A and B are shown apart, each in its own frame.
Chain A
């Protein structure tokens, strides 16, 4: 394939020849080098999702140890020191290393396929983000295994996490882990936004964008606006700890509550980084299994935006008992309740779509039903805790633990599991077993409710959160035992999923391009998709283009001798220009290593920031070294 100087277009070639040339241009170098240098959004997306699921497993195991400890009163299995590390690791891992990354990066894999393009807008930045995320997560867990795991909660409130009471390097590890995940999260968000705005298939006007993609877009914007707040708070925390600033030291004019405001200004939207993509998954599954277009598409899109917008006005409901002015608190009660309106609208539209659909009860749809039943419980208990007076009783008790697990597990992990069953064939080319899938669903449903429903009652009976034990005379023992049993059942459902995946990868039934007869573009290519995604860029003819015409029309004219993508206009998705896309490169990995070493070393000396600029600068110089092609330098 010696066509460097020739301008070869896809129109000139027969299918087999086209495939060979595109595979050559878009494929990775062979071997380990290819693995390290890849910028393929599918490889990175898969890696991201698998890594996040490993973190899910670690977070789940830490929860099981906690549940064993709490199964009986005054249990001596783990002491307070280890217990505090465990629940901090559980929360931090589940939020920062599992839920947010897995939701963002289902999009890294799926969005380019769903909008009919060959890659993401910034493939190297995408690769860089994965490595930074991996190193940050690894640092946190290695620290835990050498007894330096953070122990001040996933929120790390000052002064407990501050220089005076947070001993050793534990809270520094936490604060720096935040920096890693922020850097990677922001990189993915920026990549997603530009990809969705500028790289949609021709014909994909705004009102034809799949709801999953809309959800990814809204989430990405929320990440861009919310993450700076936690970056500021974790940086101020680490400055207080390492260089003796007094941002949060009240004795020197700092403010303890400032930390909480900054943290929750990020922390509340963060819940929606997890939930909104999950609604996107639901909105992708329902039409495919109800054999019907989604009812109320526009309302659903507006609900996503409404939720995203309102999410920034709720943070104070995490601080209802800190002694803020009562009138201000009432405002936040109103805004917290208002967020139930867009969520309610979404539920109504989903049920309306199911109402007169031709339902196919495969595992993904089962998980959607489970999602609705569980999530509504979480949403309603959310309305309860949004009320200041009720919150003064249930705040920081197991009632709240129950509430947010119903929202995050019921509202996000159930759709995610449905999504895994739905898209696994696309990712790996093989179907997951339906029988095991049903078992997986029912085990998860029973285990989940057995684990988390009794927690509501425990909270009302007075059991606070984050206690490593409780006294026998409190009478919480039997119900805690029930919860512990439930936790093991729930964990077993994930083991079943792992088994199902393992079996399917070995000898699962081959999926073919579109096993569910779904309507969106990711199903218009083979499973798993080739490195170049689509041999010809598809033309989008509607919201479910594959249902519209038997053969998807395609756009032609892209070069096949170099990586080239089609850039379209923001609103109408009109073809605008052809743009080159970067080759595989080692520099993202080098830059990520340099960044990670710098961040890690800064825990031990502030000078690391100064000296670390050298390797980071060198890596970025290599990364951005001019390639010698005219169009890339203009």
Chain B
């Protein structure tokens, strides 16, 4: 279902400004930012037109002659007055801009105790996600996609596992850096259900270009359902090819980097794959999560994402097919 939504959303949004655009805001915060931008743009355009008009007037007034112009006291006085007025206008505009900016920034702090906290750790080149809870039993991990209930402020605890990254989902809010050794905070809230895309906005090395994050904003009910499912362990595979796939996973290096809850695989280097089959994309938004794309990814990760830390693991065609069947079944 999620996958379908993603596949539908991609082509329909491509080419239009909506997909990851700061000018197509879908939250109160992003609307405010967009409005502020449009206001600044309007004033700045006006100023530029004034300068352009002045230069045009200069061209029209053009006088000719070689001998340097003599000082003209009256003209000097007129010019001084005009420049003083223009400078005062500049100061006034800048003051308004500064105050608007200040109050807009202040508005971004929510005082709501009913927040949901998600810890997002940026890694080269994927997003490690952990839903926080007072009760350790209610904590779960996922990667590269977050689900949030609409209309509820979400606190993001932003950390970095290696180098600096930046969390940015323009439709919902401005960006915030993830810095090693620090925790930054960002509050986001979606007004309407929908799928929003973001991507790392701080240069973080080879695959900085392929480090996307998807935000699924959904109703509280749908969110609770998703959360409940995420809290569960991976179901033991029934079908023989899927069982064989699990064996492939455990007997190859996969398990040393990835965790699948409910199995012996407990690696922490790569994304948690417990509910991998329920995700919309592979490799931080690189390709849609289909059996065919997963096969391509497993066959040659470096071909899709050169430099990624996922190594190429030698698997036979059959082993790969089994592994794909297993992973895709991890709903």
Q: Is the CB of B79 within 8 A of A376?
A: no
Q: Kindly state whether residue A333 has any CB partner on chain B within 8 Å.
A: yes
Query: At the interface with chain B, which of A35-43, A135-143, A418-426, A461-469?
Result: A461-469
Measured CA separation A474–B62 after assembly (Å): 48
Q: Kindly state whether residue A359 has any CB partner on chain B within 8 Å.
A: yes
Q: Is the CB of B68 within 8 A of A461?
A: no
Q: Is the CB of A323 within 8 A of B87?
A: no
Distance of A477 from chain B, by nearest CB (Å) = 9
Q: Is the CB of B203 within 8 A of A373?
A: no
B residues 148-207 in Cβ contact with A at 8 Å: 158, 162-164, 166, 168, 170, 173-177, 179-182, 184-185, 197, 199-207
Total A-B Cβ pairs within 8 A = 256
Q: Is the CB of B44 within 8 A of A322?
A: no
Q: Kindly state whether residue A206 has any CB partner on chain B within 8 Å.
A: no
Distance of B287 from chain A, by nearest CB (Å) = 9
Contacts of A468 in B (CB 8 A): 208-209
Contacts of A344 in B (CB 8 A): 86-87, 90
Contacts of B111 in A (CB 8 A): none
Measured CA separation A345–B83 after assembly (Å): 8
Q: Is the CB of A351 within 8 A of B54?
A: yes
Distance of B259 from chain A, by nearest CB (Å) = 24
Contacts of A574 in B (CB 8 A): none
Residue tally, chain B, CB below 8 Å to A: 94
Measured CA separation A250–B83 after assembly (Å): 51
Across the two chains, which residue of chain A brings its CB closest to B64?
A: A358
Measured CA separation A471–B293 after assembly (Å): 15
Measured CA separation A152–B72 after assembly (Å): 56
Across the two chains, which residue of chain A brings its CB closest to B125?
A: A80
Q: Is the CB of A358 within 8 A of B69?
A: yes
With A352-B79, A369-B55 known as contacts, the answer to whether A256 contacts B65 (CB < 8 A) is: no
Q: A159 touches which one: B177, B180, B208 (CB < 8 A)?
A: B180
Q: Kindly state whether residue A472 has any CB partner on chain B within 8 Å.
A: yes
Measured CA separation A517–B69 after assembly (Å): 13
Query: At the interface with chain B, which of A51-59, A287-295, A504-512?
Result: A287-295
Q: Kindly state whether residue B76 has any CB partner on chain A within 8 Å.
A: yes
Q: Kindly state whether residue B63 has any CB partner on chain A within 8 Å.
A: yes
B residues 71-110 in Cβ contact with A at 8 Å: 71-72, 75-76, 79-80, 82-83, 86-87, 90-91, 94, 97-98, 100-102, 104-106, 108
Measured CA separation A340–B32 after assembly (Å): 25
Most buried by B among A165, A470, A471: A471
With A160-B164, A373-B51, A393-B22 known as contacts, the answer to whether A470 contacts B209 (CB < 8 A) is: yes
Query: At the interface with chain B, which of A217-225, A236-244, A377-385, A550-558?
Result: A377-385
Q: Is the CB of A474 within 8 A of B19?
A: yes
Q: Is the CB of B174 within 8 A of A373?
A: no
Q: Is the CB of B176 within 8 A of A321?
A: yes
Contacts of A160 in B (CB 8 A): 163-164, 203-205
A residues 499-556 in Cβ contact with B at 8 Å: 517, 519, 544, 547
Per-residue CB proximity of A338-363 to B under 8 Å, as 1/0? 10110011011101101111110000
Query: At the interface with chain A, which of B33-41, B128-136, B213-221, B271-279?
Result: B33-41
Contacts of A571 in B (CB 8 A): none
Measured CA separation A381–B10 after assembly (Å): 31
Q: Is the CB of B177 within 8 A of A393?
A: no
Measured CA separation A134–B196 after assembly (Å): 49
Q: Kindly state whether residue B47 has any CB partner on chain A within 8 Å.
A: yes
Q: Is the CB of A330 within 8 A of B164?
A: no
Q: Kindly state whether residue B289 has any CB partner on chain A within 8 Å.
A: no
B residues 47-73 in Cβ contact with A at 8 Å: 47-48, 51-52, 54-55, 57-59, 61-69, 71-72
Q: Kindly state whether residue B21 has any CB partner on chain A within 8 Å.
A: yes
Q: Kindly state whether residue B16 has any CB partner on chain A within 8 Å.
A: yes
Q: B175 touches which one: A334, A354, A395, A471 (CB < 8 A)?
A: A395
Q: A351 touches which one: B23, B55, B197 (CB < 8 A)?
A: B55
A residues 237-273 in Cβ contact with B at 8 Å: 250-251, 255-257
**19 chain-A/chain-B pairs, Cβ below 8 angstroms:** A160-B163, A160-B164, A165-B124, A165-B205, A256-B180, A290-B69, A291-B67, A292-B69, A347-B51, A355-B58, A356-B72, A359-B59, A372-B55, A381-B44, A388-B101, A393-B22, A462-B197, A464-B168, A466-B203
Known: A330-B98, A384-B41, A395-B175. 12 other contacts (CB 8 A): A160-B164, A345-B87, A349-B83, A352-B83, A388-B105, A389-B32, A390-B101, A393-B33, A393-B37, A461-B21, A462-B170, A475-B14
